[in-house]
Structure 1
Amino acid sequence: MSNYTRVFHGTAFTSRSNKEVEILKDHLFCVNEDGMIKKVIGPEHSEYQPLVEAYQDTSNYHRLAEGQYFLPGFIDLHVHAPQWAQAGTALDIPLYDWLNTYTFPIEAKFEDIDFAKKVYNEVVTTLIANGTTTALYFATVHKEASFLLAQICAEKGQRGLVGKVVMDNPDQTEECYRDHDTKTALVETEDFILAVKELAKSTKQGVYPVVTPRFIPSCTDEALKGLGELAAKYNTHIQSHCSESDWEHGYVKERFDKNDAFALNDFGLLREKSVMAHCNFLTDQDAELFAEKGTAVCHCPISNAYFANSVIPIARLQSKGVEIGLGSDISGGFSPSLFDNVKQAVISSRMLEDGVDSTLPANERGVPNSRITLDEAFYLATAGGGESLSLPIGRLAENYVWDAQIIDTTVETAKLPLYDTAEKLHDIFQKIIYLSRPENIREVWVQGQKVWDRGTY
C-alpha cells in the first residue's frame, strides 16, 4: 500500500467535461507531499477499505462531516488587486470616466508601500475566504508594490500570478499615473519577472510573473513590442484586456485598422499562456486566431453587465475551440466571489438567448443557442481556469493539485434547504452553487496545505 501525506474522504463535485459535472460519492483523495492527487478511489475499489482502515486513526485522514462536500478551488482569471480599495464604487458611469475619475487615481496611491501592503493583504485574504485558490492579478505600474503582492500571495498560500502593469502612452494616461517612459517600463518589467521567479523557488504552491500591458490604449507600440519579446524570452504568462467595450474596441480599430486580437498578435502577445479579459466583441476570425494561438478568454460576467456594452457569446466562442475561464474583475465587478460570477454567467447567457427588448417579437429578440448551464459555468470557474493557465489545477482528479474548498451546508446562519434525505446529489450541487455564502466555506486548501479555516476566524 502506498504512503500518502494526506487522505481526504467525502463526496466531491468536479468537472468531467466542459458540459458536465462529475459526482464522486464517498471517494478517497490520496495526496502526496507535493500536494498532488496521486489516487482517487471509489468505494467499489479493492484498495478502498484497506486505505480507510490504515489512515482513519491518523492525523493525515480528513473525513467530511455530514452535510459537507468538496469543490475544487476557484480560479479567478482577472483581478485588479489595487481596485479592492474602490470596490462597489461608481459602477453607474461609463468605463472611460470610471477609469480616469476613480480607478487611475486610486492605483496611483500604490506608490505608498504601506498603503499597498494594507490593501493587498486584505484582498488576498478576502479571495481565499471566498474559495479562490488561484488568482491572476493586475497590480499597478509600481515595481515594488507589485512584487509585494506576489510576496503576500506566497505568504498566505494562494497561488498568485501577478503582473506589474505597463502604461506608457502619454496620449491616454495621466502624468500622475503612468510609467516614467517606455524604456523604464520594460526594464522594470524584466526586473519584476526575475524577482518573482526567484520568489517562486521557495513557494510551494507557486507564484508566477505575468507580462501585463494594461490594454492597447495605455501602451505605445514600442512597449507592446518589448513586452511580447520579454514574454517570449522568459516564457511567462501574459494578460491584458481585449475588445472590452465600444470605446476600447473602437479605439484600437481606429489606431491599427484591425481588431484587438490581431493587433495584440502582431506584438507577440497572443500565446499559449495568454489570458485576455472580456473579449465581448470578438469576431469569428478573432476567435479562430485565439484558438490557433491557444490564448484564453476570461469571462467577467458581473463586470461586463456594467461596462462591456454587450453580453459575450460564450457558447459561440466555445464552439470555435477557445479556452475560457471566469474572472471577478474587481472592481469593475463588485463581488470577490466566483459563486456570484458563476450565477451571473448563467443569467447573462439566458438574457442573450432570450433577448431583452420586449417590443420585438420573440423570434427576433435574442441570439439562439447562447445559453450555458450551471455545470458549464462551474467548469469556467474551475477546470476552464486551469486549462487557460496551462496548470494542473481546477479538478479533483488524479495528477491534479489538491486545491479544494470544503462546503458546509449545515452552517446555522447560512443553512442550505436540504430536507429530503434521498435528494439527488446533482440537485445538492446546484443548491450549493446558487445558495452558498462565504460562511459555508469551512476550509480552503491549496497544494495540499490548509490556508483557510473559518473556525479560526
Structure 2
Amino acid sequence: MRTKVRWMDKIVKVIKGTGFSSISAQEIEILEQYLYCIDKNGMIIKRLNPSDSQYNQTLQEAKETNKLIALEEGQYLLPGFIDLHIHAPQWGQSGTALDIPLHQWLDTYTFPLESKFNDNMFAEKVYSHLVDTLLAHGTTTGLYFATIHEEASYKLAEICAKKGQRGLVGKVVMDDLEQNPEYYRDKDTKTALEDTESFIKRIKTLQPEIKQGVYPVIIPRFVPSCTDQALEGLGELTAKYDVHVTSHCSESDWEHGYVKERFGKNDAQVLNDYGLLTDKSVMAHCNFLSDADALTFKKQGTAIAHCPISNAYFANGVIPIKKFHEFGVEIGLGTDLSGGFDPSVYSAIRQAVISSRMLEDGVDTSKSPIERSTTDKSRITVKEAFYFATAGGGESLSLPIGRLVENYAFDAQVIDTRTPNASMPIFNDSEPLEDIFQKLLYLTKRENITSVWVQGEKIQK
C-alpha cells in the first residue's frame, strides 16, 4: 500500500509548470516544471522540483484528488506584479496632456477630475474598471492614492476586496489653503485628520473578511499640499496605528525647491521629522534624493517607488536607482497612473531599464561619449527591474509577496507565449529558459496573460 504524502491533506491545489522568481536583484530562479503546493490560506507551503523525492508521489496524489492544475505547453508562471504608486481617480485621464508642466497638468486636469469623486457612483464606475484592468495586466497588489473623500476611498478598498486584488488604500490629505484649490481640498486640518483616522478604523474592520488582504494607508499628498499641523497629526496616527504610509518625495525641481525653501531641508528629512518614514513607508519618485536622504531611508526601512515613465514626463531628471539600491534602500516599481500613461507594470520594467541606460550613457550628442556619460555605473538589467516589480515590491510593503517560494502567498500570472494575435517569437523548442524569461518581460501584452492568481485564488477575467 502506497504511503500518502504526509502534508497533502493541507493542500487545496497544486500548480505544475515552469516559472521564474527572483533570488536577488541580480539572479533569478528558473523553476522548470515545479510543483507549487497551496493551502487554504493561499500560501505556498511546499515547492518541489522534479528531482525531489516526493515530487512524483505528490503529482500522482494531486491528479487522483483533482487538485492538480497544469500549465500547457508554451505557458510560463511569473509572480504577480506589485504596483507601488497608483493614483486611482486619475485612471479617467490616462494618456491626457502629458506634454504640459506638472503644476499646469494638476490644476487643469487632475484636481478637477479628482474633485468629482464626491460622487460615489462615479467613483465606483472608475475604480471598478481600474481594478479589473490592473488585474488583467498581472498586477496582484496595488498601493493606491484615492482622493480627499473618505466614502469614495473606502469604496476603492471594497472594490479591491470584492474583485480579489490585494489593495493598500489611503484617503489623501490636502489641507493647505494656499497650495490647494478651493474646490478640492480638505475642509480644515481637524477634519482631514479625523477623516483619516475614521478611514483607518473602517479598513481595519474590513480586514478580517478579506483573504488576500486590504490595508489602510496614511497619505499626505506631498509636503507642499499639507500644513505643518497636518503632517504632525499624520505622524501621530502613523505611530498610533502602525499602518503603511505613502507620499511623493523630491519628485521635481519645483517640489524639491519649494520644500527646501519652506523648511530649509529636503523632503526626506521633513517627512522623517514628522514620523512619516517607517519600515512601512513607500515614497514615490525621489529623483532628487541626496545621499544623506537615501541613508535616512535605509535607516528607517523606507522604500522608493520608482516610476520611470512619469519621471520622464514630470520629474526633470532620471533617478540613480541603482546607486540607491546599492546603498541598501528598498526599491519597487510604480506605474504612477496617470502621470504614467500605461497600467501595465511590464511597461514600467522596460522604461526602468531604458532610463537607466540613458542616465549612464548621457543624452547630449554635442559632447563626446566620455563627456556625456556619467562617471558611475547607472544601468540596471531586466533582471533587476523584474526584481523591483516583484520581490522588491513585497519587501517595500513588508509583506510575504512577490516570490514563488515557500511561505509566500501564491500570487501569480500565467503567460501564454502562443496566444493567437500575440504569439512570441519562440521558434526553437530548445531555446534557453533564461532567454524566454527576457522575452516574457519585453514582449508580454495583456492578451498573453491568460490567468491571474491572488492568494491562491484564480481571478475571474
Mark yes or no: TM-score above 0.5. yes
Contact 1:243–1:281 (CA under 8 A) maintained in structure 2: yes
Aligned mates of 1:168, 1:452 — CA distance in 2: 40
Structure 2 letter corresponding to 1:17: S
Deviation at 1:59, TM superposition (A): 3.2
Correspondence 1:266-415 to 2 at 5 A = 266-367=273-374, 368-415=376-423
The aligned residue for residue 429 of structure 2 is 421
Contact 1:120–1:149 (CA under 8 A) maintained in structure 2: yes
Deviation at 1:54, TM superposition (A): 0.8
Secondary structure of the structure 1 residue equivalent to 2:421: helix
Structure 2 letter corresponding to 1:426: E
Contact 1:138–1:212 (CA under 8 A) maintained in structure 2: yes
Aligned mates of 1:429, 1:197 — CA distance in 2: 39
Identify which of 148, 157, 166 aligns with 1:159. Answer: 166
Structure 1 letter corresponding to 2:405: A
Structure 1 letter corresponding to 2:84: L
Number of residue-to-residue matches in the alignment? 453
Deviation at 1:20, TM superposition (A): 1.3
The aligned residue for residue 136 of structure 1 is 143
Secondary structure of the structure 1 residue equivalent to 2:459: strand
Under a length normalisation based on structure 2, what TM-score does the superposition of the two structures give?
0.98
Deviations along 1:20-55, one digit per CA (max 9) or x if unpaired, are 111010100111110000011000000000011111
Q: Is 1:177 aligned to residue 184 of structure 2?
A: yes
Structure 2 letter corresponding to 1:208: Y
Contact 1:358–1:365 (CA under 8 A) maintained in structure 2: yes
The aligned residue for residue 84 of structure 1 is 91
Q: Which runs of 4+ in 1 moved over 3 A?
A: none
Contact 1:445–1:452 (CA under 8 A) maintained in structure 2: no
Deviations along 1:146-170, one digit per CA (max 9) or x if unpaired, are 0000000000000000000000001
Aligned mates of 1:366, 1:328 — CA distance in 2: 27
Aligned mates of 2:204, 2:281 — CA distance in 1: 18
Under a length normalisation based on structure 1, what TM-score does the superposition of the two structures give?
0.98
Secondary structure of the structure 1 residue equivalent to 2:425: coil
Q: Is 1:36 aligned to residue 46 of structure 2?
A: no
Deviation at 1:452, TM superposition (A): 3.6
The aligned residue for residue 156 of structure 2 is 149
Secondary structure of the structure 1 residue equivalent to 2:232: helix
Secondary structure of the structure 1 residue equivalent to 2:429: coil
The aligned residue for residue 75 of structure 1 is 82
Deviation at 1:18, TM superposition (A): 1.3
Deviations along 1:280-339, one digit per CA (max 9) or x if unpaired, are 000100000000000000000101000000001011101110000000000000000000
Aligned mates of 1:129, 1:58 — CA distance in 2: 30
Deviation at 1:370, TM superposition (A): 0.1
Secondary structure of the structure 2 residue equivalent to 1:230: helix
Structure 2 letter corresponding to 1:267: Y
Contact 1:129–1:452 (CA under 8 A) maintained in structure 2: no
The aligned residue for residue 94 of structure 1 is 101
Secondary structure of the structure 2 residue equivalent to 1:19: coil
Aligned mates of 1:171, 1:9 — CA distance in 2: 57
For structure 2, the residue ranges without an aligned partner over 5 or more in a row are none
